[in-house]
Amino acid sequence: MAARRQLGRVRRLVVKVGTSLVAEPGTGPDPDRIAALAAEIAGAREGRETVLVTSGAIATGMARLALPVRPRSIPEKQAAAAVGQSALMWYYEAAFKRHGTAVGQVLLTAQDIGDRARYLNARNTLLALLRFGVLPIVNENDTVAVEEIKVGDNDNLSALVASLIDADLLVLLTDVEGLYTGDPATDPGARVIDTVESVTDDVTRLVYNGTGAGAVGGMATKLQAAQKAAAAGVPMVIASGRKQGVLARILKGEPVGTYFAPKADRLGARKRWIAFAVTPQGRLVVDAGARQALTHHGKSLLPSGVVDVEGDFAAGEVVALVGDGREFARGLVNFDAGELRRIRGAKTRDIAARLGYKSFDEVIHRDNLVIL
Ligand code: GLU
């Protein structure tokens, strides 16, 4: 039996709209569909602060530039995004104007969320827009963001935004009904899962990872988004954006699409930032004993548990912790990569002898560590 959806009163909502709902690679934005989405979102905004995360800039740009296939080179992709983003916003402006809703464009990159100061800045901007009664329309800043500094897909981006502004609900509108038990195109028995309590390996295995033309993510990135949202304590729903009234029904708690339950022990804002917002700058391989101490006994990571140091990072940066070949935690490291290579495996009392000085006992303090 599926558990009941625990959707309290939603005061702050993030809606993510996939490319296939707003634009076709060949023909560009579909004004009728954008108008229908605007009507839905305008309805949802009544009594609720709402942020829209939209895809479709590159598809729109491709249509405007008459590019038959998605550009491969980064400058061309960025050029398509530049053309498409402004065109897309123009459609949204027009559509929301009919509902008396002012919109504001917010373009983010992974760096804007990964850097603590910029993270707070982005948060303040979004909250100020909401206070002004404006609908922020967010996309990745595709025109300047090269791969290394990109979130890469708007599913993950929307979960980061939901976490950033402490939303009560994240809705991913797409062109399928939800998370299926199989590939609905080939498996007649495939059905939509009503509730996912937790995105376990079993759930990930289930996933039929079809991506539509022009789409980036598919279900895999939606499940990553679900994990991020859950950790931030934000429930998430995946549903079809082609169904009229879908948002209103979700907000009433009706069983539409697939509902992902939030974690009860929601991570605090700072730990969420460590866990998800930052791209780790390196990896520490730890031994079984250290892994056990961290995951089961709430301990800090000491030099003695570190087996290997990968990458080049400074003290204070975020690194991933790997045990048994799998990343299981992330944390803010107290030593840089060079120092850690010298003290790995050492007893705490030997740190000073190996480095010539001692700054910290722990490699990663418990307070700066997040178990994933
Ligand atoms: N930012 C991309 C665009 O607007 C879309 C990314 C995605 O669909 O996940 O074209």
Ligand 1 atom at shortest distance from the alpha carbon of 217: 9
Question: What confidence tens digit (pLDDT) does each residue in 101-116 have?
Answer: 999 999 998 888 877 7
Question: Between 289 and 208, whose confidence is greater?
Answer: 289
pLDDT at 152: 83
| Six token digits for residue 58 | 């590159």
Task: Give yes or no for a contact between 13 and 168, defined as CB atoms under 8 angstroms apart.
Answer: yes
Q: For domain 280-371, give the fold.
A: 2.30.130
The pLDDT of residue 4: 59
pLDDT by residue (tens digit) across 227-238? 999 988 999 999
Q: What's the CA-to-centroid distance between 172 and ligand 1, angstroms?
A: 13
Q: Are 315 and 282 within 8 A, CB to CB?
A: no
Average pLDDT of the residues in 103-130? 89
The residue whose C-alpha atom lies closest to atom 5 belonging to ligand 1 is: 55
Say which residues have a Cβ less than 8 Å from residue 270's Cβ, sequence separation at least 6. Answer: none
The CA-CA-CA angle for residues 320, 262, 22, to 5°, reads 90
pLDDT band at 147 (very low <50, low <70, confident <90, very high): low
151 — pLDDT class (breaks 50, 70, 90): confident
Q: pTM for the full model?
A: 0.82
Q: In the prediction, which pLDDT does 16 show?
A: 98
Highest mean pLDDT: which of 63-77, 89-103, 168-182? 89-103
For residue 214, what pLDDT is reported?
40
Residue 215 — pLDDT band, cuts 50, 70, 90? very low
Mean pLDDT taken over the chain: 90
Q: Does domain 12-271 have CATH number 3.40.50.1360?
A: no
- Cβ distance 69 to 214 under 8 Å? no
Between 294 and 146, whose confidence is greater? 294
- Spatial contact of 162 and 232, defined as CB atoms under 8 Å apart: yes
Choice among 88-92, 213-217, 271-275, 357-361 with the minimum mean pLDDT: 213-217
CA distance 184 to 24: 22
Residue 101 CB less than 6 A away from ligand 1: no
Provide the 8-state DSSP code for 350: G
- The pLDDT assigned to 281 comes to 93
Quick one: pLDDT at residue 247? 96
Residue 61 CA, closest ligand 1 atom number: 10
The pLDDT, as a whole number, for residue 143 is 82
In this structure, what DSSP letter does residue 150 have? -
Q: Are 165 and 229 in contact (CB under 8 A)?
A: no
- As a whole number of angstroms, the longest Cα–Cα distance in the chain is 71
Please tell me which residue, 362 or 210, carries the higher pLDDT value: 362
List strands edge to edge, sheet with 195-196: 103-108, 135-140, 49-54, 12-17, 169-174, 236-240, 258-260, 195-196
Q: Do 299 and 279 meet the contact criterion of CB atoms below 8 Å apart?
A: no
For residues 287 and 69, give the distance between their C-alpha atoms in angstroms, rounded to a whole number.
Answer: 47
**Bridge partners of 106?**
138
For residue 312, which phi and psi values (nearest 5 degrees)?
A: -130, 115
CB of 217 within 8 A of CB of 153? Answer: yes
Mean pLDDT of 25-35: 90
Give 68's contacts (C-beta < 8 A, 6+ positions apart): 26
How far is Cα 221 from Cα 156, in angstroms, rounded to an integer?
A: 6
| Residue 100 confidence (pLDDT) | 97
Q: Is 229 in the pocket of ligand 1 (CB under 6 A)?
A: no
DSSP code, position 121: H
Kindly state if the Cβ of 339 falls inside 6 Å of ligand 1. no
Question: pLDDT exceeding 70 applies to what percent of the chain?
Answer: 94
CA of 140 to the centre of ligand 1 (A): 7
Reply yes or no on whether the pLDDT at 145 is more than 70.
Answer: no
Q: Quote the CA–CA distance of 49 and 199 in Å, as a whole number.
A: 27
* Type of residue numbered 109: T
Residue type for position 308:
D
Residue 2 has pLDDT above 90, yes or no: no
Distance between CA atoms of residues 249 and 283, nearest Å: 44
The tokens of 352 are what? 């000073």
